Amino acid sequence: MPELPEVETTRRGIEPHLVGQQLAEVVLRCAKLRWPLERELVATLPGLTIRAVERRAKYLLLRLDRGNLLLHLGMSGSLRVLPQPQPPGRHDHVDLIFTSGVVLRLHDPRKFGALLWCPGEPLQHRLLRALGPEPLSDELNAHYLRKLASGRKQAVKPFIMSQQVIVGVGNIYASEALFRAGILPTAPAGSISLSRWQRLATAIKQVLNEAIEAGGTTLQDFTGGDGKPGYFKQQLQVYGRAGEPCTACHEQIRQIRLGQRSTYYCPRCQS
């Protein structure tokens, strides 16, 4: 489900409810998500207080006064803050219960998400260490992209979705950014000119920023920490619109499969 805008929306939704909260109890109802859930969480976390809720790539970082929790929502994960404990529904796999009674609940039907305990610096964790730059930072620019793409034959869409290249761009926003930049998703990354990388870098920043503003994209069941859906779906110009007219030129939007992912583009606007 969540790409960067949805994770950031979630972060903003839960942060004000969690900072300063002291953990009372951890309830694990599922043996494993992406990885086996560490039983030591149940013994280690009670008593610790959340100092900050940060995001790196599509990971949420809960910084505690000692150690950190790394959270990834996978394809279908979502978080809710509940004012008090409630009976769990289907796929409500984890509850973090605080001394105030507030509960942070992780819901994840497909179980591709992750919850990891990280005693040391989370940015040095093996899963985060090799990640590329944040797309909304100045590190993402045309020169960086051209240099990294040099000599590479991979299609530009899977290239920009690779988290070693840039983080946060998933399947929806990759198609949207390429449409805005007028670049075919199948163009080999190594063949793209500096000026087109410039347009793409700008498009990525714009589409992510606009999606964050709208509270993310809700396709089926995404909700931010407050349970509200995101409204960016209405602003999608190509994703999920196969056969419909292009918003710019009225040509039919096409759908192809690229790297096992559905990919949408306008054959007239993108070259």
Partner DNA sequence: ATGCGGACCTGTTAGC
Partner DNA sequence: TGCTAACAGGTCCGCA
Residues in contact with DNA by CB under 7 A are 1-3, 6, 32, 34, 57-58, 72, 74-76, 90-91, 109-112, 127, 151-155, 158-159, 161, 163, 170-172, 189-190, 216-222, 230, 257, 259-262
Q: How far apart are the first and last CA of the chain?
A: 28
Residue 112 CA to its chain's centroid (Å): 13
Please, what is the minimum distance in Å from the beta carbon of residue 50 to DNA? 22
Which residue out of 11, 56, 58, 196 is catalytically annotated?
A: 58
Please, what is the minimum distance in Å from the beta carbon of residue 54 to DNA? 15
> Which residue type does 80 have?
R
Cross-strand partners of 98? 23
CB nearer DNA, residue 65 or residue 244: 244
Which residue out of 12, 111, 228, 261 is catalytically annotated?
A: 261
Please, what is the minimum distance in Å from the beta carbon of residue 3 to DNA? 4
> Could you tell me if 22 and 49 are in contact, meaning their C-beta atoms sit under 8 angstroms apart?
yes
Active site residue 40: no
Which residue out of 3, 8, 15, 176 is catalytically annotated?
A: 3
Active site residue 3: yes
Cross-strand partners of 62? 53, 69
CB nearer DNA, residue 217 or residue 270: 217
Active site residue 29: no
Active site residue 56: no
The CA distance from 58 to 255, in Å, is 26
Structure-block tokens of residue 165: 């290249």
Residues 6+ apart with CB under 8 A from 143: 194, 197
Instruction: Name the residues annotated as catalytic.
Output: 2-3, 58, 261
